[in-house]
Amino acid sequence: MRKVYIYKGFERFWHWTQSFLIIFLGVTGFEIHGSFSFFGYENAVNYHSIAAILFIILIIFAIFWHFTTGEWKQYIPTFENIKGQLNYYVFGIFKNAPHPTKKTVLSKLNPLQRLTYFGLKILVIPVMVLSGLLYMFYRYPQKYNMSALNIDGLETIAVFHTAGAFLLVAFLVAHLYLITTGNKPTTNLKAMITGFEDLEEEEVKIEKEEPIKIEEEKLPGTVN
């Protein structure tokens, strides 16, 4: 086994901040729907709006980081070995079978993870953001009876926003379970905190760099 720096600093910051904001948005959002009472309805609405704005700002920075570093390639879907990955999660994981997909620095996600995260990034999250913005700017502003955005009703928007929220809850539950499926129950959690993960030697891919040539400074009185 070899300890490899696989999760970069911003990647970990983005992961944990996004996790906190999604959970906080879920808590305040379901309170707004009347599922329970904790902050109080008015406070829940205000907190939800503030967290939503912070979430959008985080998304903008994350998009910039992914495209400038090339990390967006990690989420390109592939159907290669997807059957083996399904069999592993359904049967193999309970029989201590070897993982069918080898994790590397250049390929951190298995085929099912790629499909899941790809769906979240191009479908679920955009739907949540768009429907949330429509909520926030519904018939706003109304000064002098003028509306920048005037929709007949919020029922359809509410259905999409709530459906997206349930999908995120389902993803969160599955994600928390899969965290415990590493070599040890805390392996994946520790990796996302420190950035380092233990990988087998054959799983480690190191990009070869050309040696840097350094010219030695000639000192007076020295002979080469």
Question: Could you tell me if residue 219 is inside a domain?
Answer: no
pLDDT at res. 142: 55
Question: Could you tell me if residue 153 is inside a domain?
Answer: yes
Calculate mean pLDDT across residues 32-55.
Answer: 94
DSSP 84-96: HHHHHHHTGGGGT
Question: Could you tell me if residue 215 is inside a domain?
Answer: no
pLDDT classification of 214: cutoffs 50, 70, 90: very low
Alpha-helix residue ranges (DSSP H) falling in 91-124: 111-119
Q: 27-41 pLDDT, tens per residue?
A: 999 999 899 999 999
Q: 149-165 pLDDT, tens per residue?
A: 556 667 888 889 999 99
Q: Using CA atoms, how far apart are residues 99 and 181, in angstroms rounded to an integer?
A: 10
- Whether the predicted pLDDT of 61 surpasses 50: yes
- Whether the predicted pLDDT of 107 surpasses 80: yes
Q: Using CA atoms, how far apart are residues 70 and 206, in angstroms rounded to an integer?
A: 16
Question: Cβ distance 168 to 176 under 8 Å?
Answer: no
- CATH number of the domain at 146, please: 1.20.950.20
**pTM higher than 0.75:** yes
Q: Which domain holds residue 58?
A: 2-203
Question: Cβ distance 118 to 154 under 8 Å?
Answer: no
Question: Could you tell me if residue 16 is inside a domain?
Answer: yes
| More confidently predicted of 67 and 185 | 67
Written as one letter, the residue type at 145 is N
Q: How many independent structural domains does the chain possess?
A: 1
